[in-house]
Amino acid sequence: MDAFEAIKATFFQECDELLADLESKLMLLEQGQTDLETINAVFRAVHSVKGGAGAFGLEALVRFAHVFETLMDELRGGRKPCDTVTIKTLLRASDVLADHIQAAQGLAPPVDEERSAGLVHELELLTHGGEAPPVVEEDEDDFGFTPMAFDAALDEPLADLGGSGEIEVAASEAQTGWRVLFKPHSRMYGSANEAGLLLRELGRVGPTTVSVDAENLPTLDILVAEEGYLTWTIDLTAEVDEKVVREVFDFVEADCDLTVSPLGGAPALEFEEEPPAVLPASDDLDVAALLAKAAGAAPPEAPAPAPAPVAAAPEPAPAPAPAPVPPPVAAAPAPTTAPVPPAQVAAPVAPAPVTIRVDLDRVDRLINVVGELVIQQAMLSQRVLESGLARSSGIALGLEDLELLTREIQDSVMAIRAQPVKSVFQRMPRLVREVADMVSKQVRLVTAGEDTEVDKTVVERLAEPITHMLRNAIDHGLETPEDRVAAGKPAEGTVRLAALHRSGRIVIEISDDGRGINRERVKKIAIDKGLIAPEAALTDEQIDNLIFLPGFSTAAVVSDISGRGVGMDVVKRSIQALGGRISISSVPGKGSTFTLSLPLTLAVLDGMVVSAADQILIAPLPAIVESLTPQESDLHYVGGVDPVIRFRERFLPLIDVAMTMGFRDTPVVPNEGVAVVVETEGGQQAALLFDAIQGQRQVVIKSLETNYQQVEGVAAATILGDGRVALILDVDVLVTDMRRKSGRPDFKLAS
């Protein structure tokens, strides 16, 4: 990839971030938070997309973003109300803007011109108050500037400019206002921002007098198109707050020298004291030149007669014109403006980024190496332990320090991969809007816990199951507006998407305030489809879980959204592939809640090392409630076969893990082993019987399915300190499998 394509790829990455911010701010507007700061944030996001797109010649994207931006400019100027109709149009416009970006990236087909043009027309109608916009060829540089001819001799300096040119734009003689000194850097032009647009924007705040200092402008043979040679001085005669003035330069303040001082106060900073910023031609400027060419910022061509000025009729020129050269006491303002040498002007570029972009493959390799480091550290500790060295010896103490340091390194590396679930959550509002329109329902999406962090691998694989579940909640869970009103509910249904940390895992909840699960209908459909036997006696929980069976669907008609029996079974398999579980809680007439419980990372795990029939196993620590030695008085047998143990005034099933896993054929005497009480994701408790507990350890997870095959009751594998492979138990499967084999009431699939 060449440098230009690399910059373009970075632009699209930034577009993803801008779209996410745009979506979140539009959702705030929809919730009634129509303050100026939120509107400005929307404007900035669209403006940034437009500016970058212009640099790469993405004309369709620029045209659409320009209309979007124009409406936002009317809103932030208070000239248009931010009402419900406008907000809904802006939400749809953000969707089309995202489609244009996807098309420009080549990730999606070109945007439907009819759809895009229709939305452009709606935006223009809102912008112009319901009237069609006037057909006027826009001249973005028309802020009162009068072009002038100059000598074409390339070896002659542009002395005829006299060091400055001056523009007058309806300036009053009042001294109330601000003097703005504005000197763009090359970075500003490189990011497709234009000084002319900023000056025009400032002119909307109030009457301005603009002068330009062109003393540093070189001859055409050494002129670099994107370099900042000009310094602008603007006198704004309007009683406005300084914050209003600075907001005009909000996007470019880091890419320019900007001074705002009260009009009539201290003289402005003199940038002309700096030497001309003329850079020699070099290979480093090739990319910038390409950007400038794409943006249309080409050097001036041959001289041409100056056309008639198109600026608005200025007031009669005042007799005392501002002097281009300040008085000799220009050193006075130095303390207030703190000029910096040219070498330091570019210095802020380095500390400006707060993040760096790193290929995920590099991070994966780093995590793999750290995982091997953990294994080697465990092996070294095992060797020292087997050698019989005292725990107080220097080697043993050094190993303890190494273990702590290894753990800290591992935690730090894992934190690099940690990513907020916001990246997934922010894709969902558009999905909700589209599905709601398709089924003619009114839906409001509420999100919570967007900053909850989880491993990037988990985040990337969350999008598909969450998408299925949200579509299911809208299509099946929520009633139509008429049915909701008849049931005494608001016509608008609510779907809630929340994330939180719980017991070392991440929990995702998708809930709705709809009709809930009609269990009688679900059971009847399952029987009709042959998914369960007609005589099966099912609990409410078991009936609810029928919707996860392949081929199950409650939709009466096959549509674009549902009805083909594919969806919730895919969700369950996707979550199980991540080492997670899914559970349902439903109240008829009140709504349903689907809970996804997932590991925070797919790389490491805190576990308890246990033994069963000479096999070393790992029990996940987050699932363990307590460990105890079974007493004869606490042991009982249901039907004389299934053992249970008394635990805190409750009886829990006692599962012999070695028997269940097939490690031995005869059960161990319970009071000769150790019982570990565990809790499943569904809240069910059971006691796992092991021979002994070896200790607690953080282990590196290795996929058994990838390297061997899926084994029931085993979630993954790891490598111990002595080099042996140990299996990581799947607690939920063990408990469920035991209940099924014990003959407890459970549904049976039809044969």
Mapped onto helix, strand or coil, the DSSP state of residue 657 is helix
The per-residue pLDDT of the chain, averaged, comes to 75
> Residue 314 pLDDT > 90, yes or no?
no
More confident residue, 611 or 400: 611
> Residue 325 pLDDT > 70, yes or no?
no
Contact predicate 125/148, CB 8 Å: no
Mapped onto helix, strand or coil, the DSSP state of residue 616 is strand
CA separation for the pair 732, 714 (Å, rounded): 10
Tens of pLDDT, residues 351-379:
444 667 777 778 878 888 887 888 788 78
| Entry field: residues in the chain | 751
> Residue 339 pLDDT > 80, yes or no?
no
Among the residue ranges 100-109, 158-167, 516-525, 563-572, the one predicted with the least confidence is 158-167
- What pLDDT was estimated at residue 750? 39
> Residue 496 pLDDT > 90, yes or no?
yes
Among the residue ranges 52-56, 335-339, 526-530, 627-631, the one predicted with the least confidence is 335-339
DSSP 63-108: HHHHHHHHHHHHHHTTSS---HHHHHHHHHHHHHHHHHHHHHHTSS
Query: What is the token pair recorded at 137?
Result: 């060829």
- What pLDDT was estimated at residue 676? 92
- The single-letter DSSP state of residue 476 is I
For residue 187, count other CB atoms closer than 10 A to its CB: 18
CA separation for the pair 686, 729 (Å, rounded): 14
Work out the pLDDT band at 741, boundaries 50, 70, 90: low
Calculate what percentage of the chain has a pLDDT beyond 90.
5
> Residue 44 pLDDT > 50, yes or no?
yes
Sign of the C-alpha dihedral, residues 282, 287, 290, 296?
Answer: negative
**Please, where are the H alpha helices in 181-339?**
186-190, 195-205, 242-248, 286-295, 334-337
User: Residue 157: CA atoms inside 13 Å, Cβ hemisphere, count?
Assistant: 10
Q: List beta partners, residue 612.
A: 615
CA separation for the pair 130, 122 (Å, rounded): 9
Mean pLDDT of 439-456: 87
> Residue 163 pLDDT > 50, yes or no?
no
More confident residue, 414 or 96: 96
Among the residue ranges 25-34, 71-80, 146-155, 324-333, the one predicted with the least confidence is 324-333
> Residue 601 pLDDT > 90, yes or no?
no
- What pLDDT was estimated at residue 147? 52
Q: Give the start-end residues of each E strand in 338-427.
A: 418-420
> Residue 157 pLDDT > 70, yes or no?
no
Mean pLDDT of 477-503: 89
Query: What is the token pair recorded at 285?
Result: 């400027």
Residue 583, C-beta contacts closer than 8 angstroms, at least 6 positions apart: 594, 595, 597, 681, 682, 683
> Residue 522 pLDDT > 50, yes or no?
yes
- What pLDDT was estimated at residue 175? 61
Mean pLDDT of 112-138: 72
> Residue 286 pLDDT > 70, yes or no?
no
> Residue 312 pLDDT > 70, yes or no?
no
Q: What is the largest CA-CA distance in the chain?
A: 112
Q: pTM (2 decimals)?
A: 0.55
Q: At 71, which amino acid appears?
A: L
CA separation for the pair 279, 281 (Å, rounded): 6
Tens of pLDDT, residues 571-599:
888 887 777 778 888 888 889 999 888 87
Work out the pLDDT band at 498, boundaries 50, 70, 90: very high
Work out the pLDDT band at 158, boundaries 50, 70, 90: very low
For residue 94, count other CB atoms closer than 10 A to its CB: 23
For the chain, first and last CA: distance in Å?
57
> Residue 338 pLDDT > 70, yes or no?
no
CA separation for the pair 192, 398 (Å, rounded): 57
Work out the pLDDT band at 323, boundaries 50, 70, 90: very low
